């Protein structure tokens, strides 16, 4: 089927479907209600406070990240097929939604517009994040997939509405539903804690916030490279939990306090440090191809780099604490601090990050187990100009 034919079929499947949204009953006045919506209406009105979304109510002061993982859209077809089959369209568990309105008059106005199906007016008066899905983003995606694909599918979706929740209350409920009821990856638990502990001035919370900014902000070289949920098969070798833990290797409480006392933002220090690392180790950071001569022909070799793997990340983070401390000691002002830090990091350009049996830089154990040995080699390179194996050379050859 051609693209034009596919589009025509999709239009035909949806053109004559009845769209509906109404508040079916109020359970607790001003607090809880139950609504029914067709998939198209829900899709048009909904908002998901995800890591990649900008949420105006977020406690994140930098890029206003949300508290939920981004949806896995590959799940939508399977969910859609399930609800299309048999009577499954009548067996949809309630989605949970936070309606972000806070005054009685606002709730009355929202409910009136909702029952009118006036989505554009709702967004105009209350903002596009007013209808925030707390639980059920994958069900919504699957139901909307089925609504677009099959002409005879137009299920009524039951939705529990909670009025007037704060962002912190949303994050806590999400944590209760998703973390307490089943075993989740540490990465997702830690990422949610960033918002659950918002306002906490503890060292642990600062590390979470710094790691989140490093993982997600546009001014970070790590943006879109970190597995935020811990799910397997993400193609991202280091998780947010590992980033948070490794950030602690670089920024123990004492060093963080020293940086702050100098007027240096610890998060900015970590981001700049990794910017310097990516520059110094550009071949490994960009995972550039390697070409070799085979039988007189130039071919691309299959190589992997270890810089972004857990053992490399944790070791480089730990070294960053040493370099930041040295830059503090040797600099007369903050401008000098950045220059000294970059000069020390530049020495990492001598590291060969290609994974190979005969490469001493990458033959250490994987994960945290090998980080101590790799860190020691990196430290000796940066502070002693010593390469792996130098101790085995005759004295006169050094």
* 127-167 pLDDT tens trace: 999 999 999 999 999 999 999 999 999 999 999 999 999 98
Give the model's confidence band at 12: pLDDT under 50 very low, under 70 low, under 90 confident, else very high. very low
pLDDT value, residue 233: 60
| Mean pLDDT for the stretch of residues 295-323 | 90
pLDDT value, residue 201: 72
Q: Is the pLDDT of residue 182 over 60?
A: no
| Mean pLDDT for the stretch of residues 286-290 | 90
Q: Cα(233)–Cα(322) distance, rounded to whole angstroms?
A: 34
For 65-94, write each residue's pLDDT tens digit. 777 878 888 899 999 999 999 999 999 999
Residues 169, 82, single domain; the answer is: yes
Residue 251 within a domain: yes
Is residue 374 within 8 Å of residue 367, measured between CB atoms? no
| Mean pLDDT for the stretch of residues 386-396 | 61
Residues 235, 168, single domain; the answer is: no
Residue 195 within a domain: no
Domain of 314, in residue numbers: 203-397
Which residues contact residue 122 at a Cβ distance below 8 angstroms, ignoring those fewer than 6 apart?
A: 45, 110, 113, 114, 130, 131
Residues 160, 251, single domain; the answer is: no
Residues 245, 369, single domain; the answer is: yes
Residues 164, 210, single domain; the answer is: no
Residues 287, 219, single domain; the answer is: yes
Domain boundary among 182, 217, 240: 182
Highest mean pLDDT, choosing among 72-76, 189-193, 381-385, 393-397: 381-385
Residues 85, 224, single domain; the answer is: no
| Domains of the chain: total | 2
Residues 208, 137, single domain; the answer is: no
pLDDT value, residue 179: 57
Mapping DSSP onto H, E and C, the string for the chain reads CCHHHHHHHHHHHHHCCCCCEEEEEEEECCCEEEEEECHHHHHHHCECCECCCECCCCCCCCCCECCECCCCHHHHHHHHHHHHCCCHHHCCCCEEEEECCCCHHHHHHHHHHHHHCCHHHHHHHHCCCCEEEEECHHHHHHHHHHHHHCCCCCCCEEEEEEECCCHHHHHHHHHHHHCCCCCCCHHHHHHHHHHHCCCCCCHHHHHHHHHHHHHHCCCCCCCCCCECCCCCCCCCCCEHHHHHHHHHHHCCHHHHHHHHHCCCCHHHHHHHHHHHHHHHCHHHHCCCCEEEEECCEEEEECCCECCCCHHHHHHHHHHHHHHHHHHHHHCCCHHHHHHHHHHHHHHHHHCCCECCCCCCCCCCCCHHHHHHHHHHHHHHHHHHCCCCCHHHCCHHHC
- N residues, the chain: 398
Highest mean pLDDT, choosing among 224-228, 263-267, 366-370: 263-267
| Mean pLDDT for the stretch of residues 218-227 | 91
Q: Is the pLDDT of residue 395 over 50?
A: no
Residue 189 within a domain: no
Residues 45, 120, single domain; the answer is: yes
Q: How many CA atoms lie within 13 A of 302 on its CB side?
A: 0
pLDDT value, residue 132: 95
Average pLDDT of the chain is 86
Residues 112, 235, single domain; the answer is: no
| Mean pLDDT for the stretch of residues 1-6 | 39
Give the model's confidence band at 9: pLDDT under 50 very low, under 70 low, under 90 confident, else very high. very low
Highest mean pLDDT, choosing among 44-53, 67-76, 374-383, 385-394: 374-383
């Amino acid at each position: 089927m051609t693209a034009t034919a596919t589009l025509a079929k999709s239009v035909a499947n949806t053109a004559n479907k009845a769209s509906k949204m109404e508040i079916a009953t109020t359970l607790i006045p001003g607090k809880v209600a139950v609504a029914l919506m067709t998939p198209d209406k829900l899709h048009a009105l909904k908002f998901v406070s995800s890591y990649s979304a900008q949420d105006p109510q977020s406690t994140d002061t930098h890029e206003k990240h949300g508290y939920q993982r981004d949806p896995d859209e590959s799940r939508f077809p399977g969910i859609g097929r399930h609800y299309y089959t048999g009577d499954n369209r009548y067996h949809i568990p309630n989605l949970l939604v936070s309606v972000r309105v806070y005054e009685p008059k606002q709730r009355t106005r929202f409910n009136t517009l909702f029952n009118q199906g006036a989505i554009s007016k709702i967004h105009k008066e209350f903002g596009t994040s007013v209808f925030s899905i707390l639980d059920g983003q994958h069900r919504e995606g699957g139901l909307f997939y089925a609504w677009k694909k099959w002409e005879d599918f137009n299920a009524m979706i039951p939705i529990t509405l909670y009025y007037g929740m704060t962002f912190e209350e949303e994050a806590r409920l999400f944590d209760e539903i998703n973390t307490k009821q089943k075993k989740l990856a540490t990465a997702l638990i830690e990422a949610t804690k960033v918002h659950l502990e918002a306002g906490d001035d503890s060292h642990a919370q600062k590390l979470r916030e710094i790691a989140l900014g490093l993982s997600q902000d546009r001014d970070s070289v790590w943006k879109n490279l970190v597995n935020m949920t811990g799910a397997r098969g993400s193609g991202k070798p280091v998780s947010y939990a590992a980033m948070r833990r490794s950030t602690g290797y670089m920024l123990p409480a004492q060093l963080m306090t020293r940086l702050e006392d100098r007027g240096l933002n610890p998060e900015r220090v970590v981001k700049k440090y990794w910017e310097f690392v990516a520059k110094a180790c550009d071949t490994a950071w960009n995972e550039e191809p390697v070409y070799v001569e085979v039988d007189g022909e130039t071919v691309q070799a299959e190589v992997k780099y270890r810089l972004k793997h857990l053992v490399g990340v944790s070791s480089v983070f730990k070294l960053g604490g040493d370099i930041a401390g040295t830059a503090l000691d040797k600099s007369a002002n903050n401008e000098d601090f950045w220059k000294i830090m970059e000069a020390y990091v530049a020495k990492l350009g001598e590291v060969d990050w290609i994974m190979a049996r005969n490469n001493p830089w990458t033959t250490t154990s994987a994960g945290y187990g090998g980080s101590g040995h790799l860190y020691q080699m990196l430290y000796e390179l940066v502070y002693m100009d010593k390469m792996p194996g130098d101790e085995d050379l005759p004295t006169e050859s050094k």
